[in-house]
Amino acid sequence: MDFERVAQRLNGSLGRVWPLEGGVSARTTAIEVGQQTYVVREHAGAALEFRLLQLLAKTGIPVPPPRLLDEAGAYLVTDYVESDPPPPPAEVAHALAAALLEIHGLGTAGFSFLATLDEPGVLLHGDLWPGNVLWRDARIAAIVDWEDAAIGDPLRDLAVARLELLWAYGREEMDEFTEQYRGACPSLDFAALPERDLEAAERLAPQLPSWRLDPDAETRMRERSEDFAADARQRLRGC
């Protein structure tokens, strides 16, 4: 990656360069250009993510401002968002529920360039979990990593976030998140949630070995995945 070229396109000289942890499908790097710090994200869907961030920045959804797209669509550049440690787990759960409700409430107008998974559908983040949220003063400063965004059943997003909260914190936070979301959507049919939960577990759990986790963390997450999937199967059977 030619970060000198990126800096030139940002009208400055390159300073410090350092990798950012947490990404799996994208290579994410922070760079200093003059007095500013930016984030370079390299992945196959960079052009789509850049276009989506441009639209989201106009909606009030907190996202890192997009600044530059590679001519070939190999990478995008956003502002670097300074962040604080996250608030207590219960507050994280409530904030994620509120954020997901806001994202799903945007409608689909203007987002037709995204893949459609279900019709009718809403805008999906695709991977909303605590690690994709930046915080400032105990409030969400930015939601990042939109490469999996699509149009589809909101329960897809709900199921992924439920499992991720179970992994990060535990069942209490997962249930708090779910009840807050459910309470704000009385007209939404939640009958398919067990199916979506099972889909999320069966898709994400096999990826755990590739995430370079601490062995104890991987074991804990695998055990919680199995419990999550077993619970979903019981609900599907009507038990």
The predicted-structure confidence for 80-115, as pLDDT tens digits, reads as follows: 999 999 999 999 999 999 999 999 999 899 999 999
Query: Which of 25, 21, 22 lies closest to 149, judged by CA?
Result: 25
Distance, CA of 84 to CA of 61 (rounded, Å) = 19
Q: The tokens of 171 are what?
A: 């069942």
Q: Average pLDDT for residues 144-173, to the nearest whole number?
A: 97
Q: Indicate the class that CATH gives domain 89-236.
A: alpha beta
The secondary structure of residue 114, as a DSSP letter, is S
Q: Indicate the class that CATH gives domain 3-79.
A: alpha beta
Look up the pTM and report it.
Answer: 0.94
Domains of the chain, by residue range, sit at: 3-79, 89-236
Collapsing DSSP to helix, strand or coil, 44 comes out as coil
